Structure 1
Amino acid sequence: MSRSAARALIVTADDFGLDVRVNRAVERAHRDGVLTSASLMVSAPAAGDAVERARRLPGLRVGLHLVLADGPAMSSAAEIPALVGADGRFGDAMVRDGFRFFFLPAVRTQLAREIRAQFEAFAATGLTLDHVNAHKHFHVHPTVLSLVLSIGREYGLEAIRLPFEAHAPWWLAPWIALMRARLARAGIAHNDYVVGIANTGGMDEAVVLDALAALPEGIGEIYCHPAEPGAPGQGPISSSMREYRHADELAALLSPRVAAAMAGIPRGGFADVCGAGVAGISGPSAAQGRRL
């Protein structure tokens, strides 16, 4: 089996729309580098700018990056008071919120409303929905996943990121296994593995090259958080990403060495590498139908 037949890659930038510096990096990395996909935060401050850029880039596959933690909601604070503060932002107490999603029906009702609002906002852009994932991988939560699957069907959902990485924390394994099984039952396409969890914020050229040298068979998604440097004195992209090396991640996506290491491996968005989207792909992914 040839390398190109056994493997395919999706190269994704998350947080599209968070800041114009992110948007510029996404556009540049797609035009001049190896980036094939971006995940859009529809409620983020620079979402409109991101959509305008995406419309100029027909080859860029764009998905929905659901924000249910550490970011602004699409709904008003009055509509979802159990989920956000008076400023309309989600907090970052994900364990607490995860329990509330599961056990409190009133909270679930508001959660469903917000997930629908974000799908609706994406649909309003006119962009084709390539995939769905969530900020900080909150879509692994079984309640969130149930709502994404049920609501997403109405908006053309066909693929979801499976955030499985070989070196992920041990406690994540049973949740990933459950998610994998549920996606298979639902007929929703997904990748086999990701590269980006262990080195979040530090996906520089060396890290990406090491990952490419040891790619397993199947469909992989390399995801990162590129951004162009800000002006002198300009603050971080986000207070929760102060330590992220956004410029180094952009440099990796533009690296000729990275491009050379990917030569011969089919690449694209989820739609491009699903089923007949990549001719000749076989191996563990092909055996499960809609699974990528």
Structure 2
Amino acid sequence: MSGQAAVASPRALILTADDFGLHPAVNEAVEMACRDGVLNAASLMVAAPAAADAVARARRLPGLRVGLHLVLADGPAMLPPARIPALVDAQGRFGSAMARDGCRFFFLPGARRQLAAEIRAQFEAFAATGLALDHVNAHKHFHLHPTVLSLTLAIGREFGLRAVRLPREHRAPLLLRPWLALLRRRLAAAGVAHNDYVVGIANSGAMDEATLLAALARLPAGVGEIYFHPAVVSGAEVTATMRGYRHADELAALLSPRVRAALDRTVPRRGGFADVLAPA
């Protein structure tokens, strides 16, 4: 069961591009993969440099479901640094020390208040686009943190939040399993729909055609999400922190006729979260 608010089909699949808005090369790939390939959804970074271009492309792609990709680590904030000095550097950018920042979110009331303000600002920025909110997830899966999750659910409810990514991959590390179980329970209690599993964590940045075809050959029952980082260029040309990512190979996989044929054969029920998670 994919959340108390949804009924899962025996097998359904969502193919999502993360980091929509990060770079024009990412946005171009998302448009290509939706128009000419098998991409169903994209997760928008509302404060990223190419967010306006991403929104313009999404508006001309009625088949693309768009969600909010909350950025609370390794990326730019929506609010100016003076509003959230406990969270960002002087340039308004979140750092990459997620364990440290997670402790600060949990223990420091001032940091939590600033975190709530930033999460609200990102939801407000998404709402201002006029796009329907298909789902919410967080950059680097930071919504696994209980404080981030609590604020996301409380604030997101005001903006029509109905679905959240459950980043549960087969053979998830033991360290993550309690947090995944907690996330699943919290989503169920809140009546927020979710996928049953993901594919893409173990091969992040390397979801090429062969990897994707192998994954499709062993999909379990339930609602799955396979997420990608496509772009028309790769690695550091997109951003320095993704130096080893093979973005162009991931785009090629989404455009592959062999992938489309495998999908049509094994899991014809596909779409965004709103499409494959029907209300009870």
Which TM-score band applies after superposition, normalised by the shorter structure? Answer: over 0.9
Letter of the 1:74 counterpart: M
The partner residue of 2:29 within 25, 30, 35 is: 25
Residue from 249, 266, 290 that aligns with 2:269: 266
**Which residue does the alignment assign to 1:64?**
68
Distance across 1 between alignment mates of 2:139 and 2:50 = 16
- 1:76 alignment partner in structure 2: 80
Task: Give % identity.
Answer: 72
| 1:268 Cα offset (Å) | 0.3
The question of whether the paired residues in 2 share the 8 Å contact of 1:167 and 1:198 is answered with no
Q: CA deviation at 1:238?
A: 1.3
Corresponding residue for residue 103 of structure 1: 107
Give the TM-score normalised by structure 1. 0.91
- 1:189-200 to structure 2, matched below 5 A, reads 189-200=193-204
Runs of 4+ in 1 over 6 A off after TM superposition: none
Give the equivalent residue in structure 1 for 2:20: 16
1:221 to 225, 236, 239: 225
Q: C-alpha separation between the residues in 2 aligned to 1:169 and 1:87?
A: 34
| Structure 2 residue identity aligned to 1:272 | D
| Match in the other structure for 1:283 | none
Q: CA deviation at 1:274?
A: 1.1
Q: Secondary structure of 2:149's match?
A: helix
Q: After TM superposition, list the pairs within 5 Å mapping 1:63-142 onto structure 2.
A: 63-142=67-146
TM-score by length of 2: 0.95
* 1:181-223 deviation digits (Å, cap 9, x = unpaired): 0000000000000000000000000111011000000000000
Tell me the distance in 2 between the aligned counterparts of 1:52 and 1:32: 18
Match of 1:284 in 2: none
Q: In structure 2, what is the Cα distance between the partners aligned to 1:265 and 1:107?
A: 45
Give the aligned partner of residue 257 of structure 2.
256
Map Cα deviations across residues 20-57 of structure 1 (whole Å, 9 max, x no partner). Answer: 00000000000000000000000000000000000000
Higher relative contact order (CA 8 A, sep 6+): 2
Asked if the contact 2:9/2:222 (under 8 Å) is kept, the reply is no
Counterpart residue type for residue 75 of structure 1: L
Q: Which amino acid aligns with 2:157?
A: R
Deviation, 1:5, is 5.3
Aligned counterpart, 2:242: 241
CA distance in 2, matches of 1:161, 1:201: 18
> 1:213-247 CA deviation, whole Å, 9 max, x = no partner?
000000000001000027xxx95211110000000
Query: For residue 50 of structure 2, what is the aligned residue in structure 1?
Result: 46
Change (3 A) 1:5 1:67: closer
Q: Distance in 2 between matches of 1:86 and 1:168?
A: 36
CA RMSD, Structure 1 to Structure 2 (Å):
1.3
For residues 232-268 of structure 1, the C-alpha deviation after alignment (integer angstroms, 9 at most, x for no partner) is xx95211110000000000000001110111052000
CA contact (8 A) 1:168 1:197 kept: no
- Count residues in correspondence: 271
Structure 2: gaps (5+ residues): 1-7
Judge conservation of contact 1:129–1:156 (CA < 8 Å) in 2: yes
Contact 2:67 2:135 in 1 (8 A): yes
Where in structure 1 are there 5+ consecutive unaligned residues?
A: 277-288
Letter paired with 2:269: P
Q: Per the alignment, in what secondary structure is the counterpart of residue 14 of structure 1?
A: strand
Q: Provide the C-alpha distance between the structure 1 equivalents of 2:204 and 2:50, rounded to a whole number of angstroms.
A: 22
Match of 1:212 among 213, 216, 224: 216
